[in-house]
Amino acid sequence: MTRPASVATGIVDLLADPRLLPAAQFEELAADILPRCDDWRIVGPELVYRGWLTRFQALMLHRGRGHELLLGSYVLLDPLGEGGMAHVYRARNWKLDIDVAVKVIRQDRAADPGAAGRFLREARALGAIDHRNIVRALDAGVEGGRLFCAMEYVPGTDLGRLLRDDGALPAETARAYATQLAAALDHISRLGLVHRDVKPGNVLVTADGSAVKLGDLGLARFDRPDGALAGLTRVGVMVGTPDYVAPEQIRDSRGADIRSDLYSLGATLYHMLAGRPPFDGPGTMEKLRRHQEEDPVPVERLRPDVPADLAEVVRTLLA
C-alpha cells in the first residue's frame, strides 16, 4: 500500500510487527483507518480507544521511540515505576499472551562492561526461587544492548504507596503481611540468599489485599562465598534504605545476613503499625546514626490498640 505522509513510515512499519498489532488489526488499520485519516494525532487516539494500543505506546510512537517498546518476546505496555537502577514496565509476552513485569536496566548503569554478566548471573540465581510470597523472575536477556529481566506481574499496588495513601494499617492486617514476609525471608535464607533491602516499596500487595509478595531482589547477594551473587558488593558501599536498614548493614553491607533482613522487616512492620518509619530523622546521616544508637518510640505508645504480643514482635525484630 502507499504509506501516508503524516503517519511516518517508521510508525507503520512498527505497527506491522505482530508484537504491537496482530495481523488482523494491522490489515484493518491499513485498509480502513489510514485511507480515511493519515494524521497520527487522530489515528493514535483512535487505536487507543479501540484498545489496540495503550496511551503509553501511542505516545512513544508519536515521539519516534516506538522501537523501544519491543524487547525480544515482550512488548512494553505501561510504565510501572523507576528507580536509580532500572525502569519497570507492565509488558506482554506476545507468544504466550500473558502479562509480566519487565525491568529494563538504565543505559548509564549498563555501561560497565561487566554489568551484563553480573545482571544475568543474578537473574538466573533468582529465577530458581519459587515461593508464593516472592515475585519470581521468569526470564532475562540482552536485546538491542538493553539488559532486561521479566518477572511475575502482580496486579495491585506496593505497600509503600498503600501506606502513603491510607496511613497505618489495621493491626491484624499488618500482622498477616509481616507473617507472609517472614515466610519469604525464611525461604530465601534457606537458599543462602540475603535480600538487604526489605522495605514497603519492595513489597507488592495483591489487588484484593489478601497477600503480599517480596520483590526487587536487585541488591540481594548469596551468603555462601561460592554463591552466584557473592562478591558483587564493593567494599565501603552501603546498600539498603536508610529508613529500614539494619545497624550492622550500615557498618558493612557485606556482613549482612538473615538478621539484617529481619531488622528491616521489623522496621517495615513498625511503619505498617505506626504510619511512619521507626526514626523520622531530619536527614539520612541522622537516621543512620539513630538506627545504630537509639531505640525507637515503642509502637504501642503511638498505637495503643496494637496487641501486646505484636508490639513485642516489633521490639524483638528491632533489637
HSE toward the beta carbon, residue 174, CA cutoff 13 A? 29
Torsion of CA 59, 65, 70, 75, to 10 degrees: -10
Our answer to whether residue 257 is catalytic in this structure is no
Confirm if 88 and 81 have CB atoms less than 8 A apart: yes
Cell numbers that stand for 307 in this block: 496487641
Q: Strand, helix or coil at 87?
A: strand
Which amino acid type is present at position 46? E
Confirm if 99 and 91 have CB atoms less than 8 A apart: yes
Spot the catalytic one: 158, 197, 243, 261: 197
CB neighbours of residue 24 within 10 Å: 8
Confirm if 154 and 204 have CB atoms less than 8 A apart: yes
d(CA 299, CA 130): 33
Residues with active-site annotation: 197
